[in-house]
């Protein structure tokens, strides 16, 4: 790897109590390093200019109403489905795919358990072993990519979740709970347990040192009622004196974003201190689901911006989730409503839930699109981000023609602003193409793939 690029992307503001990785700053050599790296960069997970290529897989539960999801056309003629309308602001950097199938999640002789199968097979595309204790699935595509490029960043990969649940025992029709609450798998028997507490993610990104040290630095900051930014103030002032006007503005925006998410997490913790017998949640988990999801997405943006990781998964909720959405006027459980049996009022409510999830995803994409990389492109342009569910029609528990969006241009590797029907093609073919784009070599097959997807 180009050494100038390696050093530039490892700049930190660090002291006892905090460790803040910096975004790429042009006046400190980022653009020069990128230009010299160019296409000769061999470490993987970079674009043709040498900018980081971010890969993320955002999963949502229980499928979607097909008719409301359906999109058509391309370019100016792209007509996003009703559910996907929140993506209009970033339409030029998205593709909506049809015809991608997940055969590993089909029932076959295993009978019931579509939520567990759809959940764990979504990123592995491998059939599960139906057991409550004998876990066997496959390595997920995020971990295949992280195994190649993870050494380039402080965190090889980042796994997030919007809920938590049992990690052992049986859940869906005799399938292990681990299948239903994990989408990322390091090996066929070892899931990468996601973090659902924003505070712990924040400390992982900005706290000092190893987990034990981070706990100490957090305790110190709380005792002194100080922000992580207070501990790096002198270094920040020194950096500002060296930086250009544009970089000072970029640094100020970054530090403001760090402080803002820190304040929101602190607010969640203060509310959690008040007794609430009707709600069991660990300290730091926002009471409002919308705020919880927003905090996690904002932390993921910061992780990508600082090149703390280039690979991430975010399970918004486990498949089979029966969460209610009172904040948008829906008191019934999500999973319960998906079995609507063509009750049009229930269908309408599911459409609203589907759209709500897309709204949260769109907000995340917009944040990435508004941030510029050292090569002048937006972070979203230099990303490949899948948004998908392991179920297609939740009413019938189908796993063909899945709802799938690919956001980002992959650093210029992909066509965008279009709908493409791939017609009964394994979902794994898309993943194989993404792995190749991330610089993974020697991976000729993945899961049930037949060939890397070409029309992307």
Could you give the percent of the chain with pLDDT greater than 90? 78
Decide if pLDDT at 36 tops 70. no
264 within some domain:
no
Element housing 354 (H / E) = helix 344-369
411 within some domain:
yes
183 alpha-carbon distance from chain centroid? 11
pLDDT digits (tens, 9 = 90+) for 362-382: 999 999 999 999 899 999 999
pLDDT range class, residue 26, cuts 50, 70, 90: confident
Could you give the percent of the chain with pLDDT greater than 70? 91
pLDDT digits (tens, 9 = 90+) for 402-427: 999 999 999 999 999 999 999 999 99
Picking from 52, 83, 85, the residue whose alpha carbon sits closest to that of residue 68 is 83
22 within some domain:
no
pLDDT digits (tens, 9 = 90+) for 210-222: 677 777 778 888 8
Paired sense of beta strands 158-161 and 330-333, if any: unpaired
User: Helix 198-206 and helix 245-273: axis angle, to 10°?
Assistant: 140
- pLDDT given for residue 167 in this prediction: 76
pLDDT range class, residue 79, cuts 50, 70, 90: very high
Lowest mean pLDDT among 3-17, 162-176, 224-238, 426-440: 3-17
Query: Within 10 Å of residue 1's Cβ, how many Cβ atoms?
Result: 15
Picking from 55, 36, 60, 56, the residue whose alpha carbon sits closest to that of residue 44 is 55
Following DSSP, what letter does each residue of 116-139 receive, concatenated?
A: HHHHHHTTT--PPP--SS------
Q: Count CA within 13 A, CB hemisphere, residue 383.
A: 35
Picking from 41, 55, 205, the residue whose alpha carbon sits closest to that of residue 143 is 55
φ, ψ (nearest 5 deg) of residue 274: -80, 135
| Sign, Cα dihedral of 331, 333, 334, 336 | negative
pLDDT digits (tens, 9 = 90+) for 271-294: 765 544 444 445 679 999 999 999
| Structure tokens, 63 | 């499928």
State the total domains in the chain: 1
pLDDT digits (tens, 9 = 90+) for 85-95: 999 999 999 99
34 within some domain:
no
306 within some domain:
yes
Q: What burial class does residue 145 get, using C-beta atoms within 10 Å of its C-beta: 0-12 exposed, 13-18 middle, 19+ buried?
A: buried
- Kindly report the length of the chain: 456
Decide if pLDDT at 128 tops 50. yes
292 within some domain:
yes
Decide if pLDDT at 3 tops 80. no
117 alpha-carbon distance from chain centroid? 20
pLDDT range class, residue 44, cuts 50, 70, 90: low
- pLDDT given for residue 432 in this prediction: 98
**Higher-pLDDT residue of 17, 103:** 103
- Give me the mean pLDDT over the 328-355 stretch: 97
CATH number at 95 reads 3.40.720
Interatomic CA distance for residues 221 and 215, integer angstroms: 10
103 within some domain:
yes
- Give me the mean pLDDT over the 313-336 stretch: 97
pLDDT digits (tens, 9 = 90+) for 141-195: 999 999 999 999 999 999 999 998 887 899 999 999 999 999 999 999 999 999 9
- pLDDT given for residue 277 in this prediction: 43
- pLDDT given for residue 272 in this prediction: 64
Paired sense of beta strands 12-15 and 404-407, if any: unpaired
Interatomic CA distance for residues 391 and 389, integer angstroms: 5
- Give me the mean pLDDT over the 343-358 stretch: 98
Following DSSP, what letter does each residue of 274-332 receive, concatenated?
A: S--TT----TT--SSHHHHHHHHHHHHHHHHHTTS-SEEEEESS-TT---EEGGGTEEE
Decide if pLDDT at 43 tops 90. no
User: Which residues constitute the domain of residue 172?
Assistant: 43-196+285-437
81 within some domain:
yes
Interatomic CA distance for residues 293 and 302, integer angstroms: 14
Picking from 283, 261, 262, 280, the residue whose alpha carbon sits closest to that of residue 271 is 283
Picking from 402, 406, 433, 311, the residue whose alpha carbon sits closest to that of residue 93 is 406
């Amino acid at each position: 790897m180009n050494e100038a690029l390696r050093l530039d992307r490892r700049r930190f503001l660090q002291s006892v109590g905090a460790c803040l990785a910096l975004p790429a700053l042009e006046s400190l050599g980022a653009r020069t390093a990128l230009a010299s790296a160019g296409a000769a960069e061999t470490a993987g997970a970079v674009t043709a200019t040498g900018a980081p290529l971010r890969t993320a897989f955002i999963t949502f539960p229980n499928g979607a109403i097909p008719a409301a999801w359906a999109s058509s056309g391309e370019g100016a003629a792209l007509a996003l489905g009703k559910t996907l309308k929140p993506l209009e602001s970033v339409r030029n950097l998205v593709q909506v795919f049809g015809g991608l199938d997940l055969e590993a999640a089909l029932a076959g002789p295993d009978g019931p358990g579509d939520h567990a199968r759809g959940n764990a097979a979504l990123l592995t595309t491998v059939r599960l072993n139906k057991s409550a204790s004998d876990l066997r699935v496959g390595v997920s595509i995020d971990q295949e990519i992280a195994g190649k490029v993870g050494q380039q960043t402080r965190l090889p990969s980042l796994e997030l979740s919007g809920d938590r649940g049992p990690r052992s025992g049986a859940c869906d029709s005799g399938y292990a709970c681990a299948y239903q609450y994990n989408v990322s798998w390091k090996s066929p028997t070892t899931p990468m347990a996601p973090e659902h507490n924003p505070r712990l993610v924040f400390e992982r990104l900005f706290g000092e040192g190893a987990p034990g040290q981070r706990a100490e630095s957090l305790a110190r900051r709380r005792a002194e009622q100080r922000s992580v930014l207070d501990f790096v103030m002198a270094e920040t002032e020194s950096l500002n004196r060296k930086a250009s006007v544009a970089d000072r503005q970029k640094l100020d925006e970054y530090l403001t974003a760090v402080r803002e998410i820190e304040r929101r997490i602190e607010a969640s913790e203060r509310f959690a201190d008040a007794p609430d017998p009707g709600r069991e949640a660990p300290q730091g988990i926002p009471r409002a689901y919308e705020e919880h999801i927003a905090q996690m997405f904002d932390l993921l943006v910061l992780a990508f911006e600082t090149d703390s990781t280039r690979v991430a998964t975010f399970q918004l909720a486990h498949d089979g989730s029966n969460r209610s959405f009172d904040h948008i006027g829906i008191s019934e459980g999500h999973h319960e409503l998906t079995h609507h049996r063509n009750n049009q009022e229930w269908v309408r409510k599911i459409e609203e839930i589907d759209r709500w999830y897309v709204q949260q995803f769109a907000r995340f994409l917009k944040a990435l699109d508004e941030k510029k990389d050292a090569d002048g492109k937006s972070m979203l342009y230099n990303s490949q981000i899948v948004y998908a569910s392991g179920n297609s029609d939740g009413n019938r528990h189908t796993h063909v023609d899945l709802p799938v969006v690919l956001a980002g241009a992959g650093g210029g590797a992909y066509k965008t602003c279009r709908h493409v029907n791939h017609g009964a093609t394994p979902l794994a073919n898309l993943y194989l193409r993404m792995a190749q784009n991330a610089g993974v070599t020697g991976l000729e097959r993945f899961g049930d793939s037949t060939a890397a997807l070409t029309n992307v």
